[in-house]
Amino acid sequence: MLGGTPRDARRTERYLDGLMAADERRAAEIPVDTDIDPAICLATRQLRADLVRVHPSFRFEEALAARLAAGAARLQAGLPVRQPEATAAAGILAAFRGPGAAEAPSNVAAGQSAVAPAMGLSHSPAMSFRRLPDVAAHPRRPLIMGGVGVGVASAAISLGAVYVAWRHSHPTSGRMSRAVRAAHGRASHSGRRRSGVINEILGVVS
């Protein structure tokens, strides 16, 4: 019975057809060929129960529908369904809204940015399909590339310089510090100030 002959294969197919038809009409009983291997019947029923159809997420379904709609629009316009790789790699223009957004050029067509062609960037057709606001239609604030890194480094250097200056003007007053200063023959600002006052007093006295 466990042979792979066409006759056995046909028997298995009939059982499979019967199983699927019974499922469709929600019948509990399935006609079984007595010659068929019970192990195959069991495996078939197991797979029928377990290999269920999977549906993608609603979000994915709608996003792909929008991309297909954009592709269909391109196809109707005589363009390829997908944008060329170079254009796609340039990315979608996403600009910051500036205070002058209200003064955006009036000749900007809906769904098409005026600055995009000049920048060599493409506007997402999905935006026009979904009637999303076109952020690229508004004037943009200039961006400094690498601005974050430069800013952080600059701030760190400034803080370091301030700290060194502060430490220089505020020496510690511990015994050890005084000993170190004495050993190096150096006097602190306050020490110099104190010694100056003492010298003046001594001079006055003398």
Partner 1 sequence: MLAKSEVGARPARLDRDRGLVEAAQRDPSRFDALYRKYLAQVYSYAYYELRDHHAAEDATERVFMQALAGLPRFEERVDEFIASRGVTATSGSASDMADISTFRVWLFRIARNVVANERRSDRRRLAAPLEDALGLSAPDDVAESVAAREAGSAAWRAVARLPEDRRRAVILRFVDEMGTAEIAAVLGRSEGAVRVLLHRALRSVAQDLRRQLS
Taking the complex as a whole, the smallest distance from the CB of residue 6 to partner 1 amounts, in Å, to 6
DSSP letter string over 79-129? Answer: S-SSPPHHHHHH-B--PPPPGGGGG--TTPPTT--SHHHHHT-B--HHHHH
Q: Which residues bind partner 1 (CB under 8 A)?
A: 2, 4, 6, 8-10, 12-13, 16, 20, 37, 39-40, 42-44, 46-56, 60-61, 64-65, 67-69, 71-73, 75-76, 80-82
Cα separation values, 20 from 4, 16, 43, 85, Å? 22, 6, 14, 45
Minimum Å gap between C-beta 49 and partner 1 is: 8
Nearer to partner 1, 52 or 110 (CB): 52
149: amino acid identity, one letter: G
End-to-end CA distance of the chain: 130
For residue 34, the minimal CB distance to partner 1 (Å) is 17
Radius of gyration, CA atoms only, the chain: 41
* Shortest distance (Å) from residue 43 CB to partner 1: 4
Residue with smaller CB distance to partner 1, 76 or 206: 76
